[in-house]
Every structure is written in structure tokens, then in C-alpha cells.
Amino acid sequence: MKIGIYGGTFNPPHLGHLVVAERVRTELELDSIIFIPTFISPHKQEGESGVPLDRLRMTKLAIVDNERFESSDFEINGKSISYTVKTLEYLQRTRPNDTFYLLIGMDNYLTFHLWKEPKKILEIVTLVVMNRPGYPKQVNEVLGTLNTVFVDVPNIDVSSSDIRGRVELGKSIRYLVPASVESYILDKGLFKEKLLDTNS
């Protein structure tokens, strides 16, 4: 099967995540997309926030009504810095008959050569680069277009950091996240204290 891999902190997962994932799935005719919340992102070590189990639970809630979406707790259970190459090697071992597509934004694509073992990653997956506001489409000068496809996705002006800020200020997040995620955040009292992480 053709499987999309979508990693992130998902703190919280929002409608923008779901919209772009569904667009990629349909454009590339993928059988499913696996959402994989990180335990600690290599790119956000200084500002990581959010209890990992809460992020995993919110991710599960966010995707529950799409039978083509699934989640993995592999990185959360790893309880260490979440390197994409390790996750992909695990998936390759456990799902040897599947073909993998790794979803990343244009911002991450431009620094992809700085990731841990980028060439190894490209041996395992096709890289799916999604446009991001403020990042014009261009080719990574180090890696070129090896095993890379570009998919135009809607520019949804929603970010996890904005959602956390709105919760902190007592503002509504209705229609920014699935209703089930909103209820979870409010019931658990998440994001009420001032957070250090300003990344989405």
C-alpha cells in the first residue's frame, strides 16, 4: 500500500493539519496517512511543550472520523528525541510491503539536508513537499529533487502556537480544531499557563 507519514508535535492538532493531509492523500492516491506525534522534536528542543500523551490523545481524536487516517505512538513511546530516520526504519521493518511518502512543509524541505541521515531517509521514502505561506517554491540546493514531489495544498492560516495563545487568553478556538480536540483541551485545562514554545 501507499502510505503517507505525517510527523509533528501536534500541540494541538488543528484543522490545517487535517486539510493538507487529506489534499496530499487524494492528490497522490495514498491508501492512508499515519500521523506520528513526536516525543521531542529535534527542531524544537529548546521550546518543547505539551504532555506527550495529551498530544497523542488529541491526535487520535482529531483523525477518528477519517478511515484513511491513522496514528502511531512509536515516537511517543520512544521517550527520546524523535529522529525521522529511526521511525522510518521501524516502519520499513514492520511494514515491508508498503511504499512510504513523507509529508513535510517547504520550510522544513529547505533545511532537510541538515536532518539526521537525509540520504538514508530518501532511500526509504518519497519526499512530499507542501507549500507554506512565506516560503516560495524552490529546490533544495543540496539534495535536488531526488525522490521528491511537490504538492499544492491550501494555505490554512491556523497554527498550533496561535491556538495555545488563544486558550491562554480565554478566547474561542472553535472551528480551528475539531470539536473533540477543543473539548479535550478545555476539559483538561491545557495551555492555561504561559508557554515558552512559540513554534507551531
Give kind and range of the element (H or E) at residue 103.
strand 99-105
Is 175 contained in some domain? no
Tell me how far CA of residue 124 lies from CA of 93, 103, 176, in angstroms: 11, 13, 33
Is 178 contained in some domain? no
Is 123 contained in some domain? yes
Is 191 contained in some domain? no
The one-character DSSP state at 117 is S
Cα 140 to the center of its chain, rounded Å: 20
Tell me how far CA of residue 60 lies from CA of 109, 117, 150, 152, in angstroms: 26, 29, 27, 25
Encode pLDDT of 65-83 as tens digits. Answer: 999 999 999 999 998 899 9
What CATH number does the domain containing 108 carry? 3.40.50.620
Residue 160 CA to residue 162 CA, distance in Å, equals 5
Q: Is the pLDDT of residue 147 over 90?
A: yes
| Residue 50 DSSP SS3 | coil
Q: Which domain holds residue 28?
A: 2-156
Encode pLDDT of 14-29 as tens digits. Answer: 999 999 999 999 999 9
Per-residue pLDDT averaged across 15-44, rounded? 94
C-alpha neighbours within 13 Å on the C-beta side of residue 2: 13
Is 165 contained in some domain? no
Q: Is the pLDDT of residue 197 over 60?
A: no
Encode pLDDT of 82-124 as tens digits. Answer: 999 999 999 999 999 999 999 999 999 999 999 999 999 999 9
How is residue 97 written as a grid cell? 510491503
Q: Total structural domains in the chain?
A: 1
Is 173 contained in some domain? no
Residue 198 CA to residue 200 CA, distance in Å, equals 7
| Residue 101 DSSP SS3 | strand
